[in-house]
Homo-oligomer: A and B are copies of this chain.
């Protein structure tokens, strides 16, 4: 049987959509999920519909998560519990991640849908899986180049435990680095990879405040630390200053190191930018990957990959994340452990 039993850490936008997306796929069975205050572990399969209803509005995005993760006007509350703890499948806990690790023997894969506002948060969570001797796949959708290095330092520990860690498996990096590595096949030398994304996030804004905050950290006047300390009001102010449409250039996105790891090109030859519109669901620009190189017969050309404007950011994060999860499970079952980037794997549809 090719069934993949997986868990999700975090039930914010990405975590909830991963659960929802998986219900459309026969081979993917969600069996565990947690948020800050609760954990749900099923013997067979989670009732995703019930869990999604319980965790609606369950978004962590800022410095004072304690309130916002499970709080805020939109979050449902049942009795004294909120989020996963309020689900009839959930239990309140003070150690949600440890609870998942304790049950991890039944999990082929665990998707990290956690905010990573501290660089080493996801690497440190991965350490705990490795220390517990977890044998399986860990997947994250992180974006920052420097986190890849932290994970790479842990490759030996992952190998010892039997962990196949798939990093940066969302849209960019992830989907678009996979596309770039395919597009590179015409060339003996890749000279440039240009990744340009468009995201329209009006109706999805509430669910993706953490992503918006992380994007703001890429603006010239900000970094991860200053962005983390912004209040919601300050973020709204920045958005207002840009009339809701923010353009990003030269982002520190892990596409560069992941493409270098895969042997496609030098990290320095990769540029990432894009436009975010938080006041429209229409994409402000078409997401495009351009790979320019030299062919063995001396020509120079640019191959192009474009996503339809109708495909949402959500679809382009969660589809690849689950595709790369499948690819990671294949590798794990074949005994290949360590750290893999998307361009080193082929997702399966």
Known: A20-B296, A24-B188. A182 touches B347 (CB 8 A): yes
Please encode chain A, from 285 to 324, with 1 for each CB lying within 8 Å of some chain B CB and 0 for all others: 0000000000111011111111111111011101110010
In contact, B188 and A182 (Cβ under 8 angstroms): no
CA distance A277 to B292 in the complex (A): 25
Taking a contact as CB atoms closer than 8 A, the residue among B295, B297, B343 that contacts A346 in the complex is B343
In the complex, the chain B residue whose C-beta lies closest to that of A23 is: B296
Known: A336-B334, A346-B181, A347-B181. A186 touches B316 (CB 8 A): yes
Q: Do A315 and B346 touch across chains, with their CB atoms under 8 A apart?
A: no
Which chain B residues lie closer than 8 Å to A81 at the CB level?
A: none
A188 touches B21 (CB 8 A): yes
- Looking at chain A's contact residues, the main secondary structure is mixed
**Is A17 in contact with chain B by the CB < 8 A criterion?**
yes
Considering only CB atoms, which chain B residue lies closest to A21 in the complex?
Answer: B296
In the complex, A278 has a CB within 8 A of chain B: no
Contacts of A24 in B (CB 8 A): 188-189, 296
Q: Of residues 149 to 207 in A, which have CB atoms within 8 Å of B's CB atoms?
A: 175, 178-179, 181-190
Q: Could you say which of A4-12, A51-59, A110-118, A261-269 contacts chain B? A: A261-269
Interface status of A335 (Cβ within 8 A of chain B) = yes
Residue from the set A312, A314, A335 with the largest chain B CB neighbour count within 10 Å: A312
Closest to A307 in B: B303
Q: Is the CB of A303 within 8 A of B308?
A: yes
Kindly provide the distance from the CB of A182 to the nearest chain B CB, expressed in whole angstroms.
Answer: 5
Cβ-closest chain B residue relative to A308: B301
Nearest CB on B from A208, distance (A): 13
Residue of B nearest to A299 (CB): B310
Asked whether A345 is an interface residue with its Cβ less than 8 Å from the other chain, the reply is yes
In chain B, what residue has the closest Cβ to A187? B319
Residues on B with beta carbons closer than 8 Å to the beta carbon of A334: 331, 334-336
Contact B346 A305, beta carbon cutoff 8 Å: no
Considering the complex, give the chain B residue whose CB is closest to the CB of A190.
Answer: B349
How far apart sit A302 and B305, CA to CA, in the bound complex (Å)?
11
**B182, A263: Cβ atoms closer than 8 Å:** no
Known interface pairs A323-B185, A334-B334, A346-B181. Does A312 touch B300 (Cβ–Cβ under 8 Å)?
A: no
A178 to B162, CA, bound (A): 28
Q: Within 8 Å of chain B (Cβ to Cβ): is A25?
A: yes
Counting chain B CB atoms within 10 Å of each CB, which of A17, A265, A296 scores highest?
Answer: A296
Chain B residues, CB < 8 A from A311: 186-187, 295, 299, 301, 303
Instruction: Give residues 126-155 of A contacting B (CB, 8 Å).
Output: none
Known: A179-B179, A181-B348, A264-B349. A186 touches B307 (CB 8 A): yes
Q: Given A262-B348, A335-B335, is A306 in contact with B303 using a C-beta cutoff of 8 Å? A: yes
In the complex, which of the residues B299, B304, B335 contacts A315, with contact meaning CB atoms closer than 8 Å?
A: B299
A-B contact pairs, 7 of them (CB 8 A): A179-B305, A186-B311, A186-B315, A188-B319, A262-B348, A265-B349, A305-B305
Nearest first, the 8 A-B pairs at minimum CB distance are: A301-B308, A301-B310, A295-B315, A346-B346, A184-B349, A24-B188, A186-B311, A264-B349
